[in-house]
Amino acid sequence: MNHLQGLLQTDPVVAAAGIDLLADALAAQGAAVTRVEWQPPVPGTEEALAALAADPAKASADDAALAALTGTRPHLVGMVPAHQAIPELAEGLLLHAGPPLSWGDCSGPMRGALIGALLYEGRAADPEEAGRLAARVPLEPCHHHHAAGPMAGVISASMPLAVVEDAATGRRAYSTLNEGLGKVLRYGAFAPEVIDRLHWMQAVLGPVLAAALARTGPIDLGALIAQALQMGDDGHNRNRAGTSLLLRALGPALVEGEGPAADRGAVFRFIQGNDHFMLNLVMAAGKLASDAASGIAGSSLVTVMARNGTEFGIRLSGTGDRWFTAPAPEVEGLYLPGFSAADANADLGDSAITETVGLGGMAMAASPAIVGFVGGTAAGAVRRTLEMYAITRGEHPLYRLPILEGRGTPAGIDATLVARTGIAPQINTGIAGREAGVGMVGAGLVEAPMECFVQAVRGLAARWAGPPAG
């Protein structure tokens, strides 16, 4: 009662949500107004959001998906030839980044990478022959095979893959090994130097690392990533700390290992010369988390964001294997000398798996120095992370942000929050040249297309309304 009496004895205070007209009028009359940010949901999602909000089981489904997404404990356990991990590759299949794609729809860099893979495998003698063959080769997304690949993300039978395993469940995910920056296959380059490097990675890098891992035992990637966030990495486009910590973990085994010291030294130098080496391992760790969080009925948590250079596609936990796609957006970025936005392909790569698990664009507050690579300001990087908490279900228990006093990174993008706020997930990424064969031209920032989330929210609501169509 005292509380209610108090209300009568004090001045009224107004909370105004949404458009400013009312708040402005009150303020002009001298009233105290607390403005609450609010805006209508993204058009076309109103009914779906209402339907999903009425699902009494949704909150616990989302909690379960978040717990799975943030609860995997990824360990690097080995290296294998790709066809051992994914047998269909031995029959000629090629994997690529992003949602499903046919040769006819491929962008320049995706064509370049597929051509390069066929040259590397010895299935074609020159780029022309490889191009003709590529039109007939079966293509499937990496994401359909427990794998993730940066940029074009092409995986062929002979490439060495990193094997990342969840300690508790034995679940596995795979990634290629990072080639470095510049003229590299994943950016669509296929010059002889690119193919030679891939052969060296197959003959030396993969086996030497496999032998080193046999000595070290499993390396706890989650712990390395968590430490790297304390050291200025975002886990997507800045991986200097993660790469350094990985080299520290591998170092004694490379010093004391068997086989030619020159090979072990060359492997140390290769990783030492490539601050992005850790990226692919972070992606495999991300894919492990993504797989664990998939297929929880009713959950609107995003489990995949991936781009094939033509389309951007997402998947939700509650809609399982279904892709929701939109045209791949352009990237706002910084360009390497000699290149400009005119040379840029649209957004490309499975690397947005990092954002999906609370790294990359979600964790930019950890990485003020990344703005030298992808553009923007350090203050903007912190703001970007702060904004992302509005669209995530929670915070990552292991990945923490020192500048935010140890707060967990925004983790578990909720498609309903994206649709309700109109705030799109922020991704930082590399930029490939639009012509096949060019390679990397820059790096920058991009927003996931809102259309994917509109379709996904509607797709989830339709599934909830009745049994799925198929």
Which residues contact its own copies (rule: CB under 8 A)? Answer: 227, 230-232, 240-241, 244-245, 247-249, 251-252, 254-256, 261-262, 264-265, 268-269, 272, 368-369, 371-372, 377-379, 382, 402-406
Contact assessment for residue 117 and residue 242, using Cβ atoms and an 8 Å cutoff: no
Residue type, 304: V
To its own copies, the closest distance from the beta carbon of 262 in angstroms equals 7
To its own copies, the closest distance from the beta carbon of 277 in angstroms equals 11
Tokens linked to 333: 């970025």
To its own copies, the closest distance from the beta carbon of 462 in angstroms equals 45
To its own copies, the closest distance from the beta carbon of 392 in angstroms equals 21
Compare residues 37 and 405 and give the one whose CB is closer to its own copies: 405
Compare residues 265 and 468 and give the one whose CB is closer to its own copies: 265
Compare residues 132 and 248 and give the one whose CB is closer to its own copies: 248
| Rounded Cα distance, 318 and 105, in Å | 28
State the residue for tokens 């109109």: 422
What value, to the nearest 5°, has the Cα angle with vertex 112 and ends 106 and 114?
Answer: 75
Contact assessment for residue 377 and residue 388, using Cβ atoms and an 8 Å cutoff: no
To its own copies, the closest distance from the beta carbon of 205 in angstroms equals 14
Say which residues have a Cβ less than 8 Å from residue 126's Cβ, sequence separation at least 6: 119
To its own copies, the closest distance from the beta carbon of 244 in angstroms equals 4
| Rounded Cα distance, 20 and 23, in Å | 5
Compare residues 251 and 397 and give the one whose CB is closer to its own copies: 251
To its own copies, the closest distance from the beta carbon of 423 in angstroms equals 24
Compare residues 40 and 265 and give the one whose CB is closer to its own copies: 265
- Sign of the C-alpha dihedral, residues 465, 393, 369, 270? negative
Compare residues 21 and 262 and give the one whose CB is closer to its own copies: 262
| Rounded Cα distance, 432 and 289, in Å | 27
| Rounded Cα distance, 92 and 121, in Å | 10
To its own copies, the closest distance from the beta carbon of 332 in angstroms equals 19
For 415, the enclosing helix (H) or strand (E) is helix 415-421
| Rounded Cα distance, 320 and 60, in Å | 17
Say which residues have a Cβ less than 8 Å from residue 328's Cβ, sequence separation at least 6: 98, 107, 307, 308, 309, 310, 311, 312, 346, 347, 348, 449
Beta bridge partners of 301: 414
Contact assessment for residue 146 and residue 162, using Cβ atoms and an 8 Å cutoff: no
| Rounded Cα distance, 132 and 123, in Å | 11
Residue (of 314, 317, 335, 316) closest to 325 by Cα position: 314
Compare residues 182 and 402 and give the one whose CB is closer to its own copies: 402
To its own copies, the closest distance from the beta carbon of 152 in angstroms equals 28
Compare residues 198 and 267 and give the one whose CB is closer to its own copies: 267
- Please tell me whether residue 165 adopts helix, strand or coil conformation: strand
What own/partner pairs with CB < 8 Å and gap ≥ 24 does 338-344 have? 339/433, 339/441, 339/442, 343/433, 343/434, 343/435, 343/438, 343/441, 344/431, 344/432, 344/433, 344/434, 344/441, 344/442
| Rounded Cα distance, 389 and 420, in Å | 14
To its own copies, the closest distance from the beta carbon of 381 in angstroms equals 9
Residue (of 314, 351, 362, 307) closest to 329 by Cα position: 307
Compare residues 260 and 468 and give the one whose CB is closer to its own copies: 260
To its own copies, the closest distance from the beta carbon of 279 in angstroms equals 16
Contact assessment for residue 283 and residue 354, using Cβ atoms and an 8 Å cutoff: yes
Compare residues 191 and 378 and give the one whose CB is closer to its own copies: 378
Compare residues 251 and 329 and give the one whose CB is closer to its own copies: 251
